[in-house]
Structure 1
């Protein structure tokens, strides 16, 4: 009788294990959002291996970026882990197979101080890293931690490889669906462009408002529609413009930036359309304007509401006919430039009160995008805290 009970228990355990793995496989086929898929994956992993903390990370630009976490502080989602700064993650990235770190490993854990109720470094604990491979390429990692040094001894490498394979399939599916790409901006040597490192170009956040914003960016990026980005000062309108350009078919061409609020009216026309030698005092040579420099690429006009009325008609002509004239020239030049504009003003009201042309407003706002302020997406504050702390730590040269 006792043997029979033991056999039944073992069968029940095996069915429970298979059910978990089956759920992982089924999640690949149903219409979940990427974030739901990631969170369900971690829930299954944590239940399956009974770990105290787990994280799913995507690998890009020689760093791991957290996509979902369980048992870690929320701020981890805002951090970026360069493998050159984190020996354990580097070992996982290079292994190509299950990595079991010795419980007393001297390699610092990337999550030290980031596990609730464990502010000190985890000197002795169980730690497993699963590299996630798709088409012979590293796309991410799954990390599993337990406070008991022997916590994962009962799990075979074969069993962990099954979890790793399903996690890799789940991540690869999400990457293909969302076409996640590094946000790198083309740099030009002779003009002002958006010139920041890709990690600083990220739009950080998982709130409903940010998810909606990203969906709008994806919807309009691969078109040539004019985009008007609205929002308060400091909400990240420039990041939205960069994201639209980087996800467009023009991503390999320049993204040219011009702040209309910083332009004296006397030079604004030259900055936009260029000039020929002798057009005015100080014009000692021919000069291309921002429209020409952005030809076949994107021109981002920030603070468009500050553009003088005298120039708005000329800007409208370029948008209508794709032609411009340099200051001092009677020759027309054809340009193929996509326009993205941004303002913290309410342009419709400005037009109603005569401070902005209605016809230009309608040309610029074919696809309006509003960027919500941080106070309307409070759950993103913790993620941003982690992101900026990571940036400050690096600038100070601090190891942790």
Structure 2
């Protein structure tokens, strides 16, 4: 009853989606006394985690394609809860990803899931997983049906609240709640700097102002340019991508502005340029700092007058194009050296946006690693691919000079090495730090903050333990989850001893349902006193 009341109270409380979803999975994990609960949103042919409790951090970054995960596909194809009993050979997407307090990674032994429908349409799924056998009962299956209705109502309330906040923002009212709106599938990140960046892009997207994306190589500027376009009034029009660094100077003018037949040798027909192709839409000029000076002057005229003139043509053509440019160069330095026009720079940088490097995004590195792990798991045909705890520490301690591109290559390289060492008995393949091939001189570079998800320090637990050790010499401080389990184990054992091994009496003394006490005891390894 208390569980239902808690979830219902969340329905009538104004909460961001991320907070409401996290409270939901945490509450359900306690209610069903299981090891992990996941809330996943349907997106095309895949399920995307919205909130997880009891799973590795990198699992939040994974994208579970239904065609590759038969358990999730079966859950989504049914309207009633689906249970996969212990011994079911169907692979579980969370094998090896559950809490590592058990020591070596273990496969899931008991699984329960249900699809969620919002306003009659499939929204996603709830999944419950447990390592011990026979954790879930027939009563749990019935109860999950009811909780699924509450979960669906909760997601519907979140969507209505977000629609209302979006409407207020469009009307010019101030709101900081847009950070809770689900991100585009390709953009992975929950750190404070990423939430601030996406909020900034929401503001920029709704205008026609030129945007200049600034950032190091490999930070994913193209994805953010695509997000600006998709969230703009021009979203139903084309977005044309021009890699300025790959344009030969001899062909750059023709590529951008087009030409008439016979304008130069080899021009066998009239051809529209990239700018015309983007008419009414968005033109993305990637690596704009590489444009030749001669082309810069002509591009400036297009921005000033809204006109393009094809090579060999006398009259200009009108175009209506929104410009998004990106560069990893310091354009102000290029202006001083005469390699970039100051007037073009000021035209392009009406709305400058800095894309942070990966080393400033803290725990996002694990989410991105999760996305690349899932891609490589499918590519290599592996049942399960995971990171060891030491590897997670290595990833969060590295400064990533090559940013997301370097991370992607490191994970792909490590996945291949790990797969080559697996034996026929290795259902769960684990990546160890030495498989990453990272430069040891880059680890722990000055300036790296080592922040975790939501700007929580990934080393905070280590720091707290060190602080407590100084306050309590000789006292070994354990992790919060481990300490909680030990406390619960002692309480159950004491209650059983006090009541002569009577489980029903012990459950009443602990204010627990008897079936929940049995499940909790099995998970904690508590047995009746002899």
Which category describes the TM-score, using the shorter chain as reference length? 0.7 to 0.9
Matched, 1:119 2:102: no
Distance 2:269 2:336 in 1: 40
CA deviations over 1:249-283 (Å, ceiling 9, x no partner): 32232221111112222221111110111212222
CA deviations over 1:46-75 (Å, ceiling 9, x no partner): 222222111111111121111211111111
Matched, 1:236 2:236: no
Number of the residue aligned with 1:359: 343
2:297 to 313, 338, 341: 313
Q: CA deviation at 1:208?
A: 1.3
2:251 to 234, 250, 267: 267
2:86 to 98, 103, 110: 103
CA deviations over 1:122-178 (Å, ceiling 9, x no partner): 3xx332112111011111111112234343327455532332122122333445566
CA deviations over 1:95-119 (Å, ceiling 9, x no partner): 1122233233232211111112351
Greater RCO structure (CA 8 Å; 6+ sep): 1
Alignment CA distance shift 1:26-1:353 (3 Å) = farther
Specify the SS of the correspondent of 1:317: helix
Distance 1:46 1:398 in 2: 28
Q: Specify every segment of 5 or more residues in structure 1 that has no aligned partner in the other structure, as ranges.
A: 1-16, 180-198
Distance 1:341 1:390 in 2: 31
8 Å contact kept, 2:184–2:227: no
Number of the residue aligned with 1:303: 287
Q: CA deviation at 1:396?
A: 2.6
Q: CA deviation at 1:200?
A: 11
8 Å contact kept, 1:129–1:141: yes
Number of the residue aligned with 1:52: 35
Q: TM-score, normalised by structure 2?
A: 0.64
State how 1:186-225 maps to structure 2 within 5 Å: 202-225=186-209
1:86 to 69, 72, 76: 69
Q: Between 70-79 and 250-259, report the one with greater CA deviation.
A: 250-259
Specify the SS of the correspondent of 2:272: coil
8 Å contact kept, 2:32–2:140: no
- How many residue pairs get matched? 362
Specify the SS of the correspondent of 1:89: helix
Distance 1:56 1:251 in 2: 29
Matched, 1:333 2:321: no
Q: Between 154-163 and 100-109, report the one with greater CA deviation.
A: 154-163
Alignment CA distance shift 1:201-1:332 (3 Å) = farther
Deviating 4+ runs (over 6 angstroms): none
Number of the residue aligned with 2:331: 347
Number of the residue aligned with 1:378: 362
Distance 1:150 1:307 in 2: 65
Specify the SS of the correspondent of 1:149: coil
Q: Specify every segment of 5 or more residues in structure 2 that has no aligned partner in the other structure, as ranges.
A: 164-182, 385-530
Q: CA deviation at 1:353?
A: 4.4
8 Å contact kept, 2:107–2:131: no
Number of the residue aligned with 1:285: 269
Q: CA deviation at 1:324?
A: 1.1
Distance 1:277 1:392 in 2: 47
Alignment CA distance shift 1:46-1:291 (3 Å) = same
Considering fraction of residues, name the structure with more helix. 2
Q: TM-score, normalised by structure 1?
A: 0.84
RMSD: 2.2
Specify the SS of the correspondent of 2:111: strand
Specify the SS of the correspondent of 1:252: coil
Q: CA deviation at 1:298?
A: 1.2
Matched, 1:39 2:25: no
Distance 1:312 1:134 in 2: 51
8 Å contact kept, 2:245–2:288: yes
State how 1:152-191 maps to structure 2 within 5 Å: 152-153=136-137, 155-175=139-159
Distance 1:244 1:212 in 2: 14
Q: CA deviation at 1:388?
A: 0.8
Q: CA deviation at 1:296?
A: 1.6
8 Å contact kept, 1:201–1:239: no
CA deviations over 1:301-321 (Å, ceiling 9, x no partner): 011111122222221221122
CA deviations over 1:171-191 (Å, ceiling 9, x no partner): 334455668xxxxxxxxxxxx
Number of the residue aligned with 1:27: 10
